[in-house]
Each structure stands twice: as C-alpha cells, then as structure tokens.
A and B are shown apart, each in its own frame.
Chain A
C-alpha cells in the first residue's frame, strides 16, 4: 500500500480540477502538468508527455489521461480514485443542475458567462499545446513532427491515429 497521503492528494487535487475544467479536459492539461511534474514530482516531463500520448492513442474520452497519472502514482487504486475525482464533482453538478437548465438557459447572465469563458478556454487549450510541445520536443525533428501533425489535423481529414503511428515509426527509426 502507498501512504494514504498520496490517495488523499490525488482525490483532493483532481476533485478541484473537475470543477476548474471549463471547456473540458484539454483545458486542465497545464495544471495537471504543473501538479505532476513540478509540485509533486510524481514524474518527469518525458513520462508526462508519454502518458498523455498513450491516452490520445486509446479509445474513449480524453479525460482518461488522469487515469494514467493516477496509475503511475498510486497503482490501480490510484487510477480509480483519480478518475472518479476528476469526473465526480462536475457530474454531481450536472446531475443537480440539469433540471433547472430550462429555467436559466435563456438568462442573460448565462449567455454572458458562456461568452466570457470561451476565450479563456481557448487560451487554456492553446496553453496545453504549448506546454506539451515544450515538454515533448527535444530536437528539431520533434518540433517538425509537432508542426506537421498540427497542420495535417487542421487542413486534412487524416485520422489522428495514423499521425500518432507515423510519428512513432519515425521515432523507432531513430529519426527524432
């Protein structure tokens, strides 16, 4: 068993992130990175981006990157706690509020909140991209792969799995 403290930290930190995740899981990647690599020293930059890449390559919601962080830190129980902590508070909020949605969806404050949060979410997701690039790329070839993947995703309909696989093959060939 790991010390209880670790599970409590995972539970508390990710439960807080659940409520801060405006616009979804991609918006909190910078905070998860800061927490895992700099504050708690659970893993290195390289391990962090590897786990992120694994979650991208797996089917299902993007939020599962937190399960991998939990697994790394506290085994299977850590993965479960982290996943439930990340989904729990926001799910409870959704459960409680969905009934009242009809009553407030047309209210001006709701529209102002949504319109005001949108640029913040975009800034956070761009920040995620920046931080992942900074942590993952150690060579010009790696930067080229990041740029090419972004461009191909923006301008073609290539499935992301192909891009990840091709980049993996380049890495395996010793080119990155």
Chain B
C-alpha cells in the first residue's frame, strides 16, 4: 500500500468536485474516479469502488450520492455540502444559462430546426445507454421478463412510476431472493 494522501479540507473537497462537475460530458463518473483516485489520492481504487457500489445501490443521481458520501467521510455534513456544492455549481449555472437562451431564442425557426436534429440524436444516446446496460447485464430469461414488463408498463401503457415500482420491483427482488435461497438450501 502506498502512503495515503492527507485528508482534504472542505475547501479542497469543494474545488476537487468543482473540477469534476465542470469537466464531464455525458456522464461524470469516469472523471470522478480519475480525479479522486488517480490525481488526488483521496481514495484507494478499492475505496472508490466501495463508495460507488453503495451509491449505485441507493436511489437518486449516482454522482450526487458519491459527492455526499465522500464529503461525509472526510468532514461530515460540512464535507458533504462542500463536495455536493462543488459538483453542481458550474453545471447548474451552465445549464441555466443554456435554458435562458433557449427560452429567448427557442421559438426562432432556425433554432427550432436545429433542435429537431439534436433532440433526435439525444434520444438515440439514451437508447444506446439502455441497450448497453442490457448487453452488459445479460441475464437469464426471468430477468429479461422483468426488463420487458417494466418497459411495456412505463413506455407503452405509461403507468405512473410509483405504481409500476410498487408492483414490479418487489416481485423481481422476491424472485431473485427465492431462487438464491433455494439454490443455497441442500
């Protein structure tokens, strides 16, 4: 094991997460890892993986959870607020500026025409994200049934998410649980 870097101050946490938030296009997690593990040495690779697995287990935007957990680890509530604030400050300002420009010029025919293209591409990015997850997380037929059921419920029938999750998620978890339980039993 190499000597661990000294613990960051809240100010350093804020600045570190500021640069993470400002640099990530299309997903911030790879930047976060590079910054926190490789450049700053605040966390070992194993520690980062540990934090990430917790944050992916929990609901909510994963990278926000990462900032909260890492901030807490070093400075409790102050650290969490510093890291989260740093993460969100620049992207929030940029996105609000873009939103204000859109509100002002969005109705112009040429802007409208350009957005017809950009929006179609943005939809394609999400389709690709979903397909990648499906490919990486290739599972048995039963898991696929739940992928399809969720998709049909949300996209075709347009059920409210809360209702869908209350029905589908516990069922999926219970089935996994019983299959593992049965496997574990002699």
- CB of A36 within 8 Å of the partner chain: no
User: Which A residues, 94 to 126, have Cβ-Cβ distances below 8 Å to chain B?
Assistant: 94-95, 97-98, 101, 105, 108-126
Q: How far is the CA of A97 from the CA of B72 in the complex (A)?
A: 11
The residue that B118 contacts in the complex, of A53, A126, A133, with Cβ under 8 A, is: A53
Tally of A interface residues using CB under 8 Å: 111
User: Which A residues, 8 to 41, have Cβ-Cβ distances below 8 Å to chain B?
Assistant: 16-26, 28-31, 34, 38
Q: Which residue of B lies closest to A68 (CB)?
A: B99
A98 to B: closest C-beta gap in Å: 5
Instruction: Render A64-81 as a binary contact track against B, CB cut-off 8 A, 1 for contact.
Output: 100110011000100100
Q: Is the CB of B26 within 8 A of A160?
A: yes
* Neighbouring A residues of B72 by C-beta, 8 Å: 95, 98
Q: Is the CB of B117 within 8 A of A169?
A: yes
* Neighbouring B residues of A154 by C-beta, 8 Å: 128, 131-132
A13 to B: closest C-beta gap in Å: 11
Q: How far is the CA of A161 from the CA of B25 in the complex (A)?
A: 8
Q: Which residues does B use to contact A, with CB under 8 Å?
A: 21-28, 50-51, 53-65, 68-69, 72-73, 77, 80, 84, 87-88, 90-92, 94-96, 98-100, 102-103, 106, 110, 113-134, 137, 139, 143-144, 146-151, 153-155, 158, 160-162, 165, 168-169, 172-177, 180-181
- A-B contacts, 26 listed (Cβ < 8 Å): A26-B130, A30-B158, A50-B102, A55-B95, A58-B98, A59-B22, A59-B23, A60-B88, A61-B24, A61-B88, A68-B99, A71-B100, A79-B99, A83-B92, A94-B69, A101-B50, A113-B57, A118-B137, A119-B172, A123-B148, A129-B130, A149-B120, A149-B124, A167-B121, A172-B113, A172-B117
